[in-house]
Structure 1
């Protein structure tokens, strides 16, 4: 039985992220003072997305796979914050269940050496990962929006790899941003990455599903990791 603990210690999440991190080259240096945090606006080519999670010890950030329009990631002022080392993006031929997100997608970003990495959301809460945390219908969840700030709703249904959220709106630029449950100790537990609107329903990819897929992809890559910017499933 796995010991449940905060962060990435002793979990499949740690193994997934660490496997990808091994052998990753350092990205171009960013200007001192740039801080990368969950809920931060990022730019890749013509895409504007949101950072979903930051692992400060390994200096890695996670966002949505559809944000992968280029390997260099910048902030809203064009400061380089990191480089995509691995990404998974769904294809048009990939089948999607009616009650789930269209396949698991993600991108893993290696943060630049001069970047300041933090787990703090814009609200000041620390965003952590709790292995085995279960998302059930009715669970109150929140999202850190670029323009809206923290907005909250409830899980209305749970699908194969994701879940629907009721009573919450999100900007298109929120793609990949954190969906989390608030804790009594003024913290937050990540439960998903915002996946956008499907029909009239706001969807999030399950954090556990993303981590499982990342673990599989990282192991499949073997001891030598894919080149920076490598995308699976395109």
Structure 2
């Protein structure tokens, strides 16, 4: 089992509300973000040699979210190697192996300070706005969908709710590269409410870390790091040319 990792690279605000795939010969990051480049949930992001899916975009704080095990050295690029932001915080204690005890608490998230030059939105590739609603929580049998850059959108039901994470069945699929992708509940008004981010496949069941657990851990980390002092995140700094 990997030792739990926790660090704060760039300080983040208090309300920042296993399957990464390696890429050989990944593009060299550009010196700055491209003005007008659109960053949205469900897009491909690259960190060093890891390719993953962006899980959520907070429009108010300009913060992106993905899986903690997708992290790299700090620079986050799009699929073309263009800089989109910088890693700020992460937790990742995803176990090694093919199975995990249901009472084990999985932590697997990362926050990204998005570059000021990029244009952000909250719209999934299928057209639904991805929103957060604390009243919508994972429940057994609940209909959910997952989006990943490799498998696209797949839908099914929640098989089991565990210690901060849940497994899915009846049609939900995922492959390497889908890590960090959003898991959400489609609503009748055309939106999608996020309830988790994809973590790994345990046994034959795709699994996600719950959105509520992620936000609780972020609040705990910010309080610990700041000793009660809250400061907003600094702007994303592009790599040197």
How high is the TM-score relative to the length of structure 1?
0.81
**CA distance in structure 2 between the aligned counterparts of 1:91 and 1:144, rounded to whole angstroms:** 20
> Hey, what does 2:166 align to over in structure 1?
163
1:52-67 superposed matches below 5 A: 52-67=55-70
Q: Secondary structure at the match of 2:15?
A: helix
Call closer, same or farther: CA 1:91–1:149 in 2, change over 3 Å.
Answer: closer
Aligned twin of 1:185: 189
Contact 1:84 1:228 in 2 (8 A): no
Give the SS at the match of 2:212. Answer: helix
Offset at 1:92?
Answer: 6.1
CA-CA distance at 1:100 after TM superposition: 5.3
Select which of 86, 107, 110 maps to 2:110. 107
Corresponding position of 1:24: none
For this pair of structures, how many residues does the alignment match? Answer: 205
Aligned residue for 2:64, secondary structure, equals strand
What's the CA shift for 1:131? 1.1
Shift of 1:102: 5.3
- 1:219 maps to 223
4+ residue runs of structure 1 moved beyond 6 angstroms?
Answer: 224-229
Report the CA distance shift for 1:186/1:213 in structure 2 as closer, same or farther (over 3 A). same
Distance between the aligned counterparts of 2:167 and 2:180, measured in 1?
A: 15
Q: Which runs of 5+ in 2 are unaligned?
A: 1-12, 18-30, 237-241
Q: Which runs of 5+ in 1 are unaligned?
A: 1-13, 19-27, 230-234
Give the Cα separation in 2 of the matches to 1:200 and 1:111.
Answer: 34
Matched residue SS, 2:199: strand
For residues 98-125 of structure 1, the C-alpha deviation after alignment (integer angstroms, 9 at most, x for no partner) is 1156521211100011111110000110
1:1-234 pair list within 5 angstroms? 15-17=14-16, 29-90=32-93, 98-99=101-102, 103-166=106-169, 167-222=171-226, 223=229
Q: Is the 8 A contact 1:51 1:176 kept in 2?
A: yes
* Structure ranking higher in helix proportion: 1
Aligned partners of 1:193, 1:91: CA distance in 2, in Å? 13
